Chains A and B, each alone.
Chain A
Amino acid sequence: MARWFQRQMFRPTFTVVAFFAVIAIFFYGSIGWTFLMSLTKSSLMPRYDFVGFEKYADLMDNKRWIVSCINMVVFGALFIVGSLILGSILAIFIDRGIRFEGVFRTIFLYPLAISLIVTGLGWRWLLDPTLGIQAMVRDMGWENFAFDWITEPDRAIYTLVIASVWRSAGLVMIIVLAGLRSVDGDLWKAIRMEKIPQWRAYVQVIFPGMRPVFASCIVLLMSEVIRGYDLIVAMTNGGPGISTEMPAKFAVDFFFSRMNLSLASAASILMLLLSLLMLAPYLYSEFRRRD
């Protein structure tokens, strides 16, 4: 045994096996267990009285879950489009040998170092009608000015979009900038010879050639949308009412404070399926490219 062990030290196989065992247990084993629980009626503790997909049907009748899903789609679409547009514009400008490039980059990127909790709190204070922007504009004399989205059930979701674009636009900027800097110089020469206006060059030539770059941005942002939890907890805590609830928060709440294991598990499994569905085209193209 000792000699066998010693021999393994010469080989990477031992480490590889140990590593895969940990991943298999903690990731795939846990997912399997969560899936099993989603097929039961477990509430406070796991019970193995299987009822098939009943809990998934319950989810579809659960108003809070439906609202969460709609919110995620609305929030996700606006957040992804917003981050891509702002991030790309910033990247284009930064790419033009502007003055103080370093200063601008530092400013656009620092939100990535800050936790979503602090981000959420900061924007919550800034958008608070009695303290923040609305109060400032009113104090300047526009008494009727209103910017109270964060307390409006119909609008609160947009405040989450503002805060997340604030945090993630820099990420898009840095990835797109790396893409722009590896665009072939000859392509730009040809564009200049043809006298194509710059904005058209970006929209019709440069960006279409950077499709993989945008694909990875979108995959990253989507996974942030599906996992989104901290920001909501810090900024709106799902409110007003349930107007900013999202699936990730739904699952955590039902696991740990509402003690409905099976419903939370079903919600988590649906989140997982959605992630995989979003990821599939990306993985497919990645692996095809490698072959």
Chain B
Amino acid sequence: MSSPANAAAMPRVAVVGMYAFLIVSALFFLAPFLVILINSVKPMADIRSGNLLTLPSEITFEPWRIAWSSACTGLDCSGIKPGLWNSILITVPAVVISVLTGALNGYALAQWRSRFADWLMLFILIGLFVPYQAMLYPTVKILSGMGIFRSYTGIIFVHVVYGLPYTTLLFRNFYVGVPDEISRAARMEGASFLRTFWSVILPISTNIIVVVAILQFTGIWNDYLLGLIFAGNDNLPMTVQLTNIVNNSRGAAEPNVNMAAALLAAIPTLIVYFVSGRYFVRGIATGAVKG
């Protein structure tokens, strides 16, 4: 690849400057994470006598234990544990259903020929950019009508439906590039549209499935607003419970406990990020250039 002068060909001063900039930036990016990590294992006495950036005099996992099982969200003092469980129960089915519906719709759209196709793509594309605020209240009313507002089914339903334009477009853009011969051959064999989708198309879609699953997992796990409004008190996700612990007005938890709780909420998506590395990057790069 013929590219800009790489580091080896640059003047020495420039190379030093470049690395200095990169290292300072890296520190800026790492700072909040390191501060949270260090203080989550620091005894409260250290925080009172010093500041967040001093190193702990001893390492204690007591804040983690409290954050996990006895920090208070309002009147209830059972830590962030129920939130983690709720988030898993919400995220896993919502991701599976989003991926399947997105793939089915995306495949159908890619197969579907119509002179309105371009207009309908615009119709979906705009859906990507609609601020939730312009849909929230009517959605509350529709879900109340269906009897699933503030329920477990309701929050999953909302995640799937609100994610639909996004998942569908990602799959559609992938399937447009899949040779039509594959579907045609299956149809010749007498397979129905659904049959073709299930046994021929899905198995060759592993890459895009992983990308969409990662995007949806991060998005749904990190969601706050929809969980707050649609989940109901028994299913509040971890993000909502975390803010409840931190902002608890009656005897707020100590900073080290808050930080341990914040880390617990961040760990699942960080694991997905580190494990899936390249897929995550590809996901945001494809997801970014929507349409």
Is A268's CB under 8 angstroms from B108's CB? no
Q: A117-B224, A125-B36, A275-B129 are in contact. Are A132 and B53 (CB under 8 A)?
A: yes
Q: Which residue of A lies closest to B117 (CB)?
A: A16
Complex interface: stretch among A20-28, A54-62, A141-149, A150-158: A20-28
Interface residues of B (CB under 8 A from A): 1-8, 10, 18-19, 21-22, 25-26, 28-33, 35-36, 39, 47, 50-54, 104-105, 107-109, 111-112, 118, 120, 122-127, 129-139, 141-142, 161-162, 164-165, 168, 187, 192-195, 218, 221-225, 229, 239, 242-243, 246, 255, 258-259, 262, 265-266, 269-270, 272-274, 277, 280-281, 284-285, 288-291
Is B164's CB under 8 angstroms from A125's CB? no
Which single member of B126, B135, B288 contacts A30 (CB below 8 Å)? B135
Is B7's CB under 8 angstroms from A98's CB? yes
Chain B contact residues: over half helix, strand or loop, or mixed? Answer: helix
Give every chain A residue within 8 A of B25 (Cβ-Cβ). 86, 90, 108
Give every chain A residue within 8 A of B33 (Cβ-Cβ). 110, 122
Is B4's CB under 8 angstroms from A136's CB? no
Q: A12-B107, A174-B284 are in contact. Are A132 and B2 (CB under 8 A)?
A: no
Q: How far is the CA of A125 from the CA of B52 in the complex (A)?
A: 8
Q: A90-B25, A132-B52 are in contact. Are A9 and B193 (CB under 8 A)?
A: yes
Give every chain A residue within 8 A of B223 (Cβ-Cβ). 115
Interface residues of A (CB under 8 A from B): 9-16, 19-20, 22-23, 25-31, 33-34, 37, 46, 86, 89-90, 92-93, 95-99, 104-119, 121-123, 125-126, 128, 131-133, 135-136, 139, 166, 170-171, 174-175, 178, 181, 183, 185-186, 188-189, 192, 198, 201, 216-217, 220, 223, 226-227, 229-230, 233-234, 248, 251-252, 255-256, 261, 264-265, 267-269, 271-272, 275-276, 279, 283, 286-287, 290
Q: How far is the CA of A111 from the CA of B25 in the complex (A)?
A: 13
Which single member of A178, A186, A276 contacts B126 (CB below 8 Å)? A276
Is B134's CB under 8 angstroms from A30's CB? yes
Which single member of A186, A192, A217, A255 contacts B136 (CB below 8 Å)? A255
Is A12's CB under 8 angstroms from B288's CB? no
Is A121's CB under 8 angstroms from B262's CB? yes
Most central of B135, B139, B187, B246 by chain A CB within 10 Å: B135
Is B122's CB under 8 angstroms from A23's CB? no
Most central of A34, A216, A290 by chain B CB within 10 Å: A34
